[in-house]
Structure 1
Amino acid sequence: MKRIYILAAVAATALLSACSFESFDQIPKDTSIISTVNIKDMTISFYDMDNQEKLPDWRVDQPYTGGTILPDGDSLLLYGKTLETVDLYSLSEGKKIDSWETGEGIVNALLVGNGTEIAFADQNMESIRFFDMDGKKVKEVQAEKDPLTLIEADKKLYAISYNHEILTIIDLKNKERLPGFEIHPAAAGAIMSPEKDELWVGGHGKGTEIEERIHIYDLKTGKLKKEIPAPVMPVDFIKDEDSVFVLSHGSNMLYKLSGNGTKKDSIKVGANPFEIEVFEHKLIVAGYDSNEVYIIDPGSLSVEKTFRVGNGPFQIVTRERKQDESRKSTNHR
């Protein structure tokens, strides 16, 4: 389960003696970049999609577990559950430029409100905390225990808590909590289907029960509509115009599904993959134990390119050329 990997990685990195660098290799502006946050060796890896070349890794001195690129297209925000701050780095300058005091507990971040604010999932405070682009806390809303997965849709924020079977829903305009509904245990990873008023949720399973299905909930009623097989441990989702792609890290499988959940294709990819992204009309998958990133054609579901990254790529962060767009996961997480 992803939460256990976070804790294990933090414990492992605490044993490492890392050097603190004043500066890093600069990342060229106006280029399409795929980056990964690698938690086993505390590095950030970069790949230039335009020039099809791997750039030098950044070896950082903090156990970061995830990140996102801010709307300016240059500021890389990094966070970790055991850290007192979230830190900002300039990609073009190759150096740390700011730190925001958050306290420990941050495990996920999502740009919301058209990129005007950031929502942080704080597992220590058991809350969702909203910050503006200057690092000032705007509001804090109580969530369920161990919030992890964050999704924005229809001016609402949906927060899935790994250790509580209630979905948290927040009105983004007023920053007020709305009535949620019950979901399955040990849920993780989700995707929205607004046109059908559906929320697709994956998970790891609980105890000896390993999750092998995607649960689809009706957003209006909160009722479970159907379950779709996607063994084993479907933990991340992404979609394009035609299909929904599901990554099951327990079986190293990538599934391609139709909008109604019918299986269209599948492929085995990587070793213990956690993250999937759609980037420049390609699927990007990171293999946590294989230390590789795979660029996959979504039509044929074939691997077009593979490149090495640091040890334990845990989250994918992307930047499109001359555009101010970034993930999630988050994540995806």
Structure 2
Amino acid sequence: MKKIFMLVTAAFTIFLTGCSFDTFEPIPGKSSFISTINIKDMTISFYDLEKDMRLPDWKVDKPYIGGMIFPNKDTLLLYGNTLDSVDLYSLSKGKKIGSWETGKGIVNGILVQNGSEIALADQERDSIRFYSLEGKEIKENKTEKDPLTILENEQKLYVISFNHKMLSIIDMKNKVQLPGFEIHAAAAGGLLNQQKRELWIGGHGEGTTVEERIHVYDLKSGKLKKEIAAPAMPVNFIKDKDSIYVLSHGSNMLYKLGENGEIKASIKVGANPFEIEMFDNKLIIAGYDSNDLYIVNPENLNVEKTVRVGKGPFQIVTRER
């Protein structure tokens, strides 16, 4: 199942039940955790890796698809593409503490400017919208149609749009549009490799053609430098000092690559995995259809532990102590 399709249809495949949930089990302020935002049963799962303990799920009453934790390590912001607002929750209090009226269309968001601002991808308005942590909208920059993946690097924001073969670039200092460059169709997921001045982009493929390769672009010229095989549907990336890890959800494969693209190791993991994060020197992978978190050793790609979470883990959000 394609992630972009699910972003559009998530709210229509979820049956809303019960009344509003006002309070949840508080999350201890000193705990580090891995959380998943689960779209099939509208829950948020929490797992304390250090204590090897799953904390109580939060059963929410809105179809959230993603979120982030503020630098204060207590405020959790949640968004959904069919919702009129993004909502803020206090982890330590276990309750909602505010909302920002954004309108519908928010499909992604990241902290930018060293955590002082938030960039939200809005597919209703085909734009990136910048907010302060207090909820004031600072600037809105138009992008190509259906912005999805957001990457920040050296005072530039790179925006990959799923339905347009043009990369948008925003100057972060002045919030102005810079010249972009052409990329491949149905692109999704990306990684900025600063050492080599490269942008790695994955995707799902177009029409009946499944994407089998990672496209590597030169950041300065925008030229396609090479393609790296990573079948099928490479959609998520993460990097450590020595390797780049690629998650291909069409084949349930995790690849460990060198910076030149050579395969160091690979493993089949999860069922329809979308999300990968690095946490406490471990790779964390969420299996959307298996409803599991997989704790993977990055050295040998061995699965060290599997943790059950809610149904349909769609995004991973972590907090380190």
TM-score in same-fold range (> 0.5): yes
Alpha-carbon contact 2:16-2:61 (below 8 Å) kept: no
Alpha-carbon contact 1:215-1:224 (below 8 Å) kept: yes
**Which residue in the other structure is 1:140 paired with?**
140
1:18 deviates by: 3.7
Query: Is residue 96 of structure 1 aligned with residue 96 of structure 2?
Result: yes
Alpha-carbon contact 1:19-1:60 (below 8 Å) kept: no
Q: In the TM superposition, what whole-angstrom CA distance separates every residue of 1:216-249 from its partner, at most 9, and x where no partner exists?
A: 0001110000000000000000011110000000
Q: In the TM superposition, what whole-angstrom CA distance separates every residue of 1:271-298 from its partner, at most 9, and x where no partner exists?
A: 0000000111000000000000000000
**Which residue in the other structure is 2:271 paired with?**
271
1:51 deviates by: 1.1
Q: In the TM superposition, what whole-angstrom CA distance separates every residue of 1:192-225 from its partner, at most 9, and x where no partner exists?
A: 0111110000000000110000000001110000
**Which residue in the other structure is 1:10 paired with?**
11
Runs of 4+ off more than 6 Å: none
* 1:37-52 aligned within 5 A: 37-52=37-52
1:5 deviates by: 1.3
- Aligned-residue Cα RMSD (Å) equals 0.7
Q: Give the AA of the match of 2:87.
A: D
Separation of aligned partners in 2, 1:217 and 1:293: 31
Alpha-carbon contact 1:76-1:88 (below 8 Å) kept: yes
Separation of aligned partners in 1, 2:18 and 2:82: 16
Higher relative contact order (CA 8 A, sep 6+): 1
1:16 deviates by: 2.9
Q: Give the AA of the match of 2:13.
A: A
1:20 deviates by: 1.6
**Which residue in the other structure is 2:86 paired with?**
86
Separation of aligned partners in 1, 2:160 and 2:293: 27
Separation of aligned partners in 2, 1:169 and 1:27: 37
Query: Is residue 54 of structure 1 aligned with residue 70 of structure 2?
Result: no
1:8 deviates by: 2.8
**Which residue in the other structure is 1:128 paired with?**
128
**Which residue in the other structure is 2:203 paired with?**
203
Task: Look up the SS of the partner of 1:47 in the other structure.
Answer: strand
1:19 deviates by: 3.3
Alpha-carbon contact 1:245-1:255 (below 8 Å) kept: yes
Which ranges of structure 1 fall in alignment gaps of 5 or more residues? 322-333
**Which residue in the other structure is 1:229 paired with?**
229
1:7 deviates by: 2.4
After TM superposition, the structure 1 stretch with the greater mean CA deviation from structure 2, 16-25 or 265-274, is 16-25
Q: In the TM superposition, what whole-angstrom CA distance separates every residue of 1:126-176 from its partner, at most 9, and x where no partner exists?
A: 000000011010000000000000000011100000000000000000000
Which ranges of structure 2 fall in alignment gaps of 5 or more residues? none
**Which residue in the other structure is 1:306 paired with?**
306
Q: How many residues align?
A: 320
**Which residue in the other structure is 2:19 paired with?**
19
Separation of aligned partners in 2, 1:162 and 1:18: 35
Separation of aligned partners in 2, 1:258 and 1:19: 50
Separation of aligned partners in 2, 1:230 and 1:249: 10
**Which residue in the other structure is 2:259 paired with?**
259
Q: Give the AA of the match of 1:110.
A: I
Separation of aligned partners in 2, 1:21 and 1:124: 27
Task: Look up the SS of the partner of 2:145 in the other structure.
Answer: coil
Task: Look up the SS of the partner of 1:44 in the other structure.
Answer: strand
Separation of aligned partners in 1, 2:317 and 2:97: 19
**Which residue in the other structure is 1:156 paired with?**
156
**Which residue in the other structure is 1:325 paired with?**
none
**Which residue in the other structure is 1:74 paired with?**
74
Alpha-carbon contact 1:18-1:60 (below 8 Å) kept: no
Task: Look up the SS of the partner of 1:6 in the other structure.
Answer: helix
**Which residue in the other structure is 1:239 paired with?**
239
Separation of aligned partners in 1, 2:94 and 2:51: 19
Q: Give the AA of the match of 1:206.
A: E
| Alignment TM-score, normalising by the size of structure 1 | 0.95
Q: Give the AA of the match of 1:204.
A: H
Separation of aligned partners in 2, 1:21 and 1:62: 10
